Structure 1
Amino acid sequence: MDNGMTGESPRKTRTLSASDRAYEWIRNAILTGVFREGEFLDEVALSHEVNTSRTPVREALHRLQAERFIDILPRRGAQVRMISAQELEEVYATRFVLESHAFDEIVSQGHALPRRATEIAEELYEAGTKERWNDVAQLDQRLHSLFVSHAGNAVMSELYDSLQPRQVRLSVRTISTAPDRLDIIHGEHLALIEHLSTGNLESAVATLKKHLDRIPSLMRTFS
């Protein structure tokens, strides 16, 4: 089965355990749409795909359940979680609270954004032009995580990064369904970087709100 994965996880630079290998394969298969929402996963078939026994696959599935990629149902097995409009709304609302607070800290403390922020934004846009949606989602999370971590609050940064699995999956779903938003997203990312770099908190928060707000084209994907 070819899932066309192009992810850039740093774990690829080391030898993975069988459990890690199964986890990454199944996770990326879910993110890239090889396994659809509501689909049940067969442990035997998965063990053949990743060339391992069922035990590492089972360990990987429990990890994916903890990260809310799947649900493990009694006597039915592992099922890819359905994403609801409510979950989308709640994740984005939480992101707004954490990121807007981080913006306040960045501006009040006069922290200059690292050049890496612009580089990530450009890498994201390039990946989008090539329809590498998994890479787009990973880079989007990385950029916003950089904003939050730059505020210097380790606990807040840890809380934000705990959203990463759901954030990436939601991003893949929304951008792949509405790819016409790529230019808008890119423009808003550059605007956020500009506003934070010049200390314009009001404009940064207003841009963030627009960036994370519900829009009809997004919500239709969850109907």
Structure 2
Amino acid sequence: MEAKRPLARSLAFDWVRNAIVSGVYHGHDYIEESTVCEAVGVSRTPVREAFNQLAAEKYITLTPRHGAQVRGIGAEELIEVYEVRRLIEGRSIELLCETKIPVTDKALSALEDRLRTTTAQHESPLDPELRVTASQTDWMFHYSIVSAAGNSVLSETYEFLRSRQQRVSIETGMRFPDLIKKYDEHHVAMIEAWRSFDEVEFKRILSDHLRPAERILASLEEG
């Protein structure tokens, strides 16, 4: 007997997402409904619902008469996402340092979660769930900085970037796992700059953190 629809949709969603982040499907590949139905053991309705959710989270694009196509992450999109992040996070840093808002427990907890996850990811680099979790903890760390600044519009705008930011994080982490250590060093250094309200250093670290390496851009341009 097929699982109830919410559970069936969740199973289909997880299967497709894991297939994408583990490299079974690549950018621009098409995913057939029937393939997911057979793999997960569910009907077409929850698969279509899962496709809609995946499209909303920028994993796939739904096209008439063609179905679900895996979204490729291009160099231009990466640059644009980082550009918007620099604006939002940079202004948040200014507010934190100008008003002397101390490092929050939320930020410290987010950093611990991120470091714990990337340690596990280093031990199991092919685990797709860890890739997803690592991208989530990365977003939560940066969101903790933005939300601490107390500007609700900045926070809401940053939340809008969540799915795209995580997709970019997963893609670059898959291609260049050696950069994860460098990024986590940046995360630790950001907290130290925040503790001392050193706006110049805080923003310098952020700028370095959100500067895509040339090899990342070249790989995305190649597809």
TM range (shorter): 0.7 to 0.9
Mapped to 1, the partners of 2:116 and 2:173 lie a distance apart of: 15
Is this contact kept in 1: 2:136–2:166, CA < 8 A? yes
CA distance in 1, matches of 2:168, 2:55: 16
1:129 maps to which residue? Answer: 122
- d(CA) in 2 for partners of 1:93 and 1:44? 39
Change (3 A) 1:162 1:25: farther
Aligned-partner Cα distance in 2 for 1:178–1:73: 30
2:59 equivalent to 1:66: no
1:24, 1:106 → 2: CA distance?
37
- The Cα RMSD (Å) is 1.9
Q: Which residue of 1 aligns with 2:139?
A: 141
Query: Alignment partner of 2:178: what SS?
Result: helix
Q: 1:120 deviation in Å?
A: 2.8
The answer on whether the counterparts of 1:72 and 1:78 sit within 8 Å (CA) in structure 2 is: yes
CA distance in structure 1 between the partners assigned to 2:55 and 2:134 by the alignment: 23
Q: Does structure 1 retain, via aligned residues, the 8 Å contact 2:61–2:69?
A: yes
| Residue pair 1:32, 1:134 contacting (<8 A) in 2 also | no
The corresponding residue for 1:17 is: 7
Q: Of 15, 19, 26, which residue of structure 2 is paired with 1:36?
A: 26
Alignment of 1:200-219 (within 5 A): 200-219=198-217
Deviates more, 1:179-188 or 1:53-62: 179-188
Distance, in Å, in 2 between the alignment partners of 1:125 and 1:17 is 28
Q: Secondary structure at the residue paired with 2:27?
A: coil
Q: Distance in 1 between matches of 2:141 and 2:68?
A: 32
Unaligned runs of at least 5 residues, structure 1: 1-14
The two structures have a TM-score, normalised by structure 2, of 0.86
Per the alignment, do residues 109 and 25 of structure 1 end up closer, same or farther by CA in structure 2, a change over 3 Å counting? farther
1:140: Cα distance to partner? 1.0
Equivalence for 2:92: 102
Q: Unaligned 5+ residue runs, structure 2?
A: none
Contact kept in structure 2, 1:174 and 1:218, CA below 8 Å: yes
Structure-2 change in CA distance of 1:154 and 1:32 (3 Å) = farther
Amino acid paired to 1:49: A
1:84 match? 74
Task: Name the amino acid aligned to 1:164.
Answer: R
Cα distance change on mapping 1:106 and 1:32 into 2, 3 Å: farther
Count of residues in Structure 1 that have an aligned counterpart in Structure 2: 209
Q: Are the counterparts in 1 of residues 31 and 70 from structure 2 also a CA contact under 8 Å?
A: yes
Question: Where in structure 2 are the equivalents of 1:137-216 lying within 5 Å?
Answer: 137-216=135-214
What is the deviation of 1:57?
0.8
- 1:221 is aligned to 219
Shift of 1:31: 2.5
CA drift at 1:202: 0.8
- Please identify, of 39-48 and 148-157, the stretch whose mean Cα deviation from structure 2 is larger: 148-157
Aligned residue for 2:61, secondary structure, equals: strand
TM-score, normalised with respect to structure 1: 0.86
- d(CA) in 2 for partners of 1:173 and 1:147? 23
Shift of 1:80: 0.4
